[in-house]
Amino acid sequence: GENVEQHPSTLSVQEGDSAVIKCTYSDSASNYFPWYKQELGKRPQLIIDIRSNVGEKKDQRIAVTLNKTAKHFSLHITETQPEDSAVYFCAAPGTYKYIFGTGTRLKVLA
Amino acid sequence: EPEVTQTPSHQVTQMGQEVILRCVPISNHLYFYWYRQILGQKVEFLVSFYNNEISEKSEIFDDQFSVERPDGSNFTLKIRSTKLEDSAMYFCASSFSGRGTDTQYFGPGTRLTVL
């Protein structure tokens, strides 16, 4: 069935270091992969997305890579800052929905 | 920038009562969704809606749940007889196209507390 696995569940990094979060999906027909950032008590906010016709996309300190063969995609945050602390969710598309990963709580230590 | 809005921000109700959660999707979007998030857990899909019909629903979305677009702007989720386990944050989302290939924009959520 449709499933998205996300690792790690928690991640602590020193300010300025990089953070990497990985997701794997099961539906080989999936072709759009968004990443959301959710601060405590707030809505999920789209931070970056990638379509299956590209392997990597960058937006300043954030990048996403996609390996369609292996069915996994990763979020990379460089030069982390305290305001990057949040829960990050990956998602993969179902027929008329998103299937979300279980989330990664990122803590950036000052 | 247009945003999805939701009301109320917080709803407290007694078990067995009916609640209606309201959403105003982004105006040119055609697909509407409800998700829920139990505290500290992942976001779970409930239902998607297009052209005044349910496109897909999850196993969570049982007979106690219903959705409606009563007018040109609102999109509602009704829970007929609330249970304790319905306590969660409920997010509405909308997108221009469906089939999970377009960005879904989320509202700020309604925190439902069932006592």
pLDDT averaged per 10 residues in sequence order, chain A, 110 residues: 88 98 89 93 93 90 94 96 96 88 96
* SS3 state of residue B95: strand
Question: CA B56, B51, A52, A34: dihedral to nearest 10 degrees?
Answer: -70
At B105, is the pLDDT very low, low, confident or very high (cuts 50, 70, 90)?
A: very high
DSSP class of residue B4 equals -
What is the CA B101 to chain-centroid distance, rounded?
19
Query: How far away is chain A from the Cα of B51, in angstroms, using its nearest Cα?
Result: 13
**Of B91, B100, B108, which has the smallest distance from its Cβ to A94's Cβ?**
B100
DSSP class of residue B77 equals E
Residues 6+ apart with CB under 8 A from B62: none
Question: Is the CB of A96 less than 8 angstroms away from the CB of B107?
Answer: no
Contacts of A93 in chain B (CB under 8 A): 99-101
Q: Provide the percentage of residues in chain B whose pLDDT is more than 70.
A: 98
| Interval B39-64: pLDDT, tens | 989 999 999 999 999 999 999 999 99
Beta bridge partners of B53: B50
**Do residues B31 and A96 lie in contact, with contact meaning Cβ atoms separated by under 8 Å?**
yes
Question: Is the CB of B109 less than 8 angstroms away from the CB of A94?
Answer: no
Query: How far away is chain B from the Cα of A73, in angstroms, using its nearest Cα?
Result: 16
Chains A–B, number of C-beta pairs less than 8 Å apart: 65
Mutate which of B29, B57, B104, B105 to disrupt the A interface (most A C-beta within 10 Å)? B104
**Of A31, A32, A44, which has the smallest distance from its Cβ to B43's Cβ?**
A44
A87, A89, A62: which is closest to A76 by C-alpha?
A: A62
**Of B41, B58, B101, which has the smallest distance from its Cβ to A31's Cβ?**
B101
Contacts of A46 in chain B (CB under 8 A): 103, 105
Contacts of A92 in chain B (CB under 8 A): 100
Confidence (pLDDT) at B100:
65
Query: How far away is chain B from the Cα of A96, in angstroms, using its nearest Cα?
Result: 4
C-alpha separations of A68 from A7, A93, B58, B90, B98 in Å: 18, 14, 26, 32, 21
Residue carrying the six token digits 């959520």: B109
Question: Is the CB of A89 less than 8 angstroms away from the CB of B55?
Answer: no
Confidence (pLDDT) at B2:
84
| Interval B62-97: pLDDT, tens | 999 999 998 878 999 999 999 999 999 999 999 998
